[in-house]
Amino acid sequence: MVLNFPFKKPSSGSSDVPVKSVSDNDFSEAINLFKKQRKKVGISLEQLSKETKISRNVLRAIENGWKKYLPEKTYLVSMIKSLEVKLNIERGSLNGLLARQGSVNNISRFKFNFINIDFLNSPIGSLLYIIFMLLSILALNSQQRYLIKINSVSIEPIITEKSFMKDSNIINNKKKK
């Protein structure tokens, strides 16, 4: 479950990627280099996905320039390194893919929408799920209390007429032998 908090600070971790800001031009150049080199090597997205262990969806997002479908920078850095090695590209030449729309201050807020697939991954969704489960348990508990009250709870097995006839025939046949 991914939790994005609005007070999240940008990490100043020690990575091999330069800290310089990446422009949209660098992003476009990195996409074009990726496409050109992938076609030059003659590898499909599916095969590249299998060999680098990067999902096809991420590779499609890279190739089509879909910034919002790219993973977080932490994961993207290691993916870029893997792609550069596999496609025989100079190290650091795909760093233009690290461009992001907006900044940490512009974190998109969760919208309360039942159609949203990430609904249960939000704190509101988790809370509603817990409430739903507790209400379900209470409903089952009250139904069991009602059944006990009217003496309809039985610990004996339910025997239908057909199974009773079969069982009695088997018992009678054993007694005759």
* Cα 45 to Cα 56: distance, rounded to the nearest angstrom: 6
Contacts of 147 (CB under 8 A, 6+ apart): 153
pLDDT of 8 > 50? The answer is no
Amino acid 128: pLDDT: 87
Q: Which residue has the higher pLDDT, 2 or 121?
A: 121
Amino acid 171: pLDDT: 66
- The distance between the two most distant Cα atoms of the chain, rounded to a whole number of Å, is 95
* Cα 150 to Cα 84: distance, rounded to the nearest angstrom: 72
User: What is the per-residue pLDDT across 14-34, written as a single tens digit (0 to 9) for each?
Assistant: 444 444 445 678 888 888 888
Amino acid 90: pLDDT: 87
Q: Which residue has the higher pLDDT, 171 or 73?
A: 73
Average pLDDT of the residues of the chain = 75
* Cα 38 to Cα 30: distance, rounded to the nearest angstrom: 12
pLDDT of 94 > 50? The answer is yes
Structure-block tokens of residue 93? 């030449």
Q: Where in the chain is the domain with CATH 1.10.260.40?
A: 24-106
Amino acid 133: pLDDT: 94
User: What is the per-residue pLDDT across 102-157, written as a single tens digit (0 to 9) for each?
Assistant: 444 445 555 555 555 666 677 888 888 899 999 999 999 998 888 888 877 666 66
**% of the chain exceeding 90 in pLDDT:** 7
Fold observed for domain 24-106 = 434 Repressor (Amino-terminal Domain) (1.10.260)
Amino acid 131: pLDDT: 94
Amino acid 3: pLDDT: 47
User: What is the per-residue pLDDT across 37-79, written as a single tens digit (0 to 9) for each?
Assistant: 889 989 888 998 898 899 888 888 888 888 888 888 888 888 8
